[in-house]
Amino acid sequence: MRIGVDTGGTFTDLVLLDGASVVVHKVRSTPDDPSRAIITGIQELAPGGSVRDVVHGSTVATNAVLERRGARVALVATAGFEDVLRIGRQTRRELYNFMVEDRRPLVEDGLTFGLCERLAYDGAVVEPLEDAAIDRLVEALAGLGVDAVAVCLLHSYVNPAHEQRVASRLSEAGFVVSASHAVLPEYREFERWSTTVVNAYVTPLMARYLSALEAELGGARLSIMQSNGGSISAARAKAASVQTILSGPAAGAVGARTVAEAAGFTRIIGFDMGGTSTDVTLINGELGMTTESTVGDFPVRLPMIDIHTVGAGGGSIAYLDSGGALRVGPRSAGADPGPVCYGKGEELTVTDANLLLGRLEPEFFLGGRMALDVERTRHAADRFAPQLGLTVLQLAEGIVRVANANMERAIRVVSVQRGFDPRDFALLAFGGAGGMHACAIAETLDISTVIAPRHAGVLSALGMLLADVTKDYSLTILRLAHETPVEDLKARFDPLAAQATGDLAAEGFTGPRAVVERSLDVRYVGQAYEITVPFTADFREEFDRRHARLYGYSNPKRPAEVVNLRVRATGLTDKPSLPRDDERSSARVPPVRVRPACFDGAEVATAVYHHGDLPAGTTLAGPAVVIGKEATTVIPPAFRLRVDGFGNLIATRGVAAKAARRAGQTADVAV
């Protein structure tokens, strides 16, 4: 048995793979100790079963940074560069706010130490590092109650000798050490400092959590999902915890790509709406990757799937701002107390609004394992609605529209702002709440097709069982492209590729199951940021093409610079095959019930179906609500629904609806 586990803000999702069978399960998350929900879920899902592998997507590292409850970290930097983290890039998050709060580093005042040493940009020693200086550093750190030490010395990416000596001595003295040459061997001191400090900040907490979870799991092998879409061993995750910052959303993207390709869609926008947040990613045949990410206020420069996150989820709380306008999120009710309809919460959420609009079945939530309190929710809405001069249904619809607008903007970030037209993609909705909002958002963005996977509510957990073992390596070289022959670049790649191959072999991946890919970070000379392109003989031409798509122009005559070498090593794991039935015409499936639901300000008769009652080939017209064991899908009046062979719900907008939408847009422009 193999189990994928995704710990979310409201629910913990589990998927069990036993041979060819797939079994899914959800339990309420336990924020005080996420492992309690995991162990409970595994015991309920496989009582007495022999679990061989557990692949886990964890939010422990992310939450530690966001909530400022990580380790007590000391920073060791080259003398004269102690304030790099505080200075940053001197960019202002709020350009016109004179009272903007300063960035609060993760390193407390008094815990930054300057070390007398200096390397030149090419790694040459300008000022040697004396053993006596290291001894004084160890003495200064003793007794400060430091949990971890981040070592960030100038130009260590090209010559790590000084960092290695300092890290070795600190380790001997009993400190947990994160050295920048091991975490991120790339230039740009601020990003390298920041990523290394974040790793030091979360590593002790993550190590304790994973060790305790391993003990609870007994003999099962524990792997952890990374932000780059692959998994690593728990032992590796304990030392490089920063690589797990976006592990849950990354697994969702992997699952979305696999499900979409099986259904015949290669261009999708993944739309993962959970209880606390919504994660969106664009997949144009392959997963989009980036090295530019921020967690809280802190840059984390590591390869990861290009995912944009907004604080809009089923548990997002509705409130009035200082101007009396309705806002939704980013504050969330989470798992405790949860939405009002769960029985404990006092503040209305998006889930409560969907319940009031008739888009959730109170008796069949989570497959009937949890009942929703409609009357309690209506009383809360009765208290809130008069503050806006609205009826309860108008308030509920307003909450959903505000949340949809937040999520629509996130989709534009990963599509329009990346040079892609969202109309060329299908919207694949998953997460516990994605299917309830996807069609409305697709209509706003003029997207024709919406896909709600069979296991939409636990797709991130399923994605963990579909992920490969992946490791990333990088090295800064800063060479002019026209002065660096391809053969020279190949030679520079060889040490990284050899390390990658060796690391994969150590985990049992050799021959055709071990894949090593090479890429380059390239920019025009004088630019501040790079574009990653595959390493081929015509990499310069590919760089120009990608630059034109992203920014609307390119300049093939301008000199280009190769900044970083990148190697991705992938160990191809055995993937479960998704069960498929033959699609055939079937008799009309009677709904479980027909009841009113609100769409566009009007209550209309809406058919309610159980997902499991809809065989492959079933077609029906909206409005409809399809309820599953872990997620609900809402089909508005303008959409038609088809069930494919994999049990996915494929919703398409009618021709009349598209024409009306375009006519409305034209009228708006004319006005």
Residue 587, pLDDT score: 61
Highest averaged pLDDT of the listed ranges 32-36, 216-220, 516-520: 516-520
pLDDT at 586 over 70: no
Residue 585, pLDDT score: 66
pLDDT tens figures, 532-560: 999 999 999 999 999 998 898 999 999 99
pLDDT tens figures, 382-411: 999 999 999 999 999 999 999 999 999 999
**Using N-to-C axis directions, what is the helix angle for 459-466 and 247-262, rounded to 10°?**
80
Which amino acid is residue 552, in one-letter code?
G
pLDDT tens figures, 423-435: 999 999 998 899 9
Residue 500, pLDDT score: 94
How far apart are the C-alpha atoms of 350 and 356, rounded to whole Å?
10
Residue 623, pLDDT score: 95
Residue 172, pLDDT score: 95
pLDDT tens figures, 192-245: 999 999 999 999 999 999 999 999 888 888 999 999 999 888 998 998 899 988
pLDDT at 271 over 70: yes
What is the mean pLDDT of the segment spanning 653-665?
54
Residue 670, pLDDT score: 29
- One-character DSSP codes across 295-358: ETTEE--S-EE--EEES-STTEEEEE-TTS-EEEEEEE-TTTT--GGGTS--S-BHHHHHHHTT
How far apart are the C-alpha atoms of 341 and 633, rounded to whole Å?
19
The rounded Cα 54 to chain-centroid distance in angstroms is: 19
**Using N-to-C axis directions, what is the helix angle for 392-414 and 434-445, rounded to 10°?**
70
To 10 degrees, the CA torsion angle through 466, 471, 474, 480? -50
pLDDT at 56 over 90: yes
| Confidence class for position 588, pLDDT limits 50, 70, 90 | confident
The answer to which of 18-22, 271-275, 665-669 has the lowest mean pLDDT is: 665-669
- Between residues 47 and 662, which one has the greater pLDDT? 47
| Confidence class for position 664, pLDDT limits 50, 70, 90 | very low
- One-character DSSP codes across 153-180: -TTTTT--HHHHHHHHHHHHTT-EEEEH
Find out whether 661 and 461 touch, Cβ atoms under 8 Å.
Answer: no
What is the mean pLDDT of the segment spanning 438-452?
96
The answer to which of 65-74, 578-587, 651-660 has the lowest mean pLDDT is: 651-660
pLDDT at 59 over 80: no
pLDDT at 366 over 90: no
pLDDT at 669 over 50: no
- One-character DSSP codes across 540-608: HHHHHHHHHHHHS---TTS-EEEEEEEEEEEEPPPPPPPP-------PPPPPSEEEEEEETTEEEEEEE
Find out whether 13 and 457 touch, Cβ atoms under 8 Å.
Answer: yes
The rounded Cα 622 to chain-centroid distance in angstroms is: 31
Residue 668, pLDDT score: 37
What is the mean pLDDT of the segment spanning 638-662?
79
Which amino acid is residue 61, in one-letter code?
A
Residue 140 gets the label, from left (phi > 0), alpha (psi -120 to 50) or beta, of alpha
pLDDT tens figures, 75-112: 999 999 999 998 887 777 777 877 777 777 899 989 99
Closest CA to 394 of 444, 365, 353: 353
Residue 1, pLDDT score: 78
What is the mean pLDDT of the segment spanning 479-483?
94
How far apart are the C-alpha atoms of 77 and 79, rounded to whole Å?
6
Across the chain, mean pLDDT equals 89
Q: How many CA atoms lie less than 13 Å away from 406 in the CB half-sphere?
A: 23
pLDDT at 655 over 70: no
The answer to which of 102-116, 441-455, 510-524 has the lowest mean pLDDT is: 102-116
Highest averaged pLDDT of the listed ranges 149-158, 214-223, 295-304: 149-158
Q: How many CB atoms lie within 10 A of CB 623?
A: 20
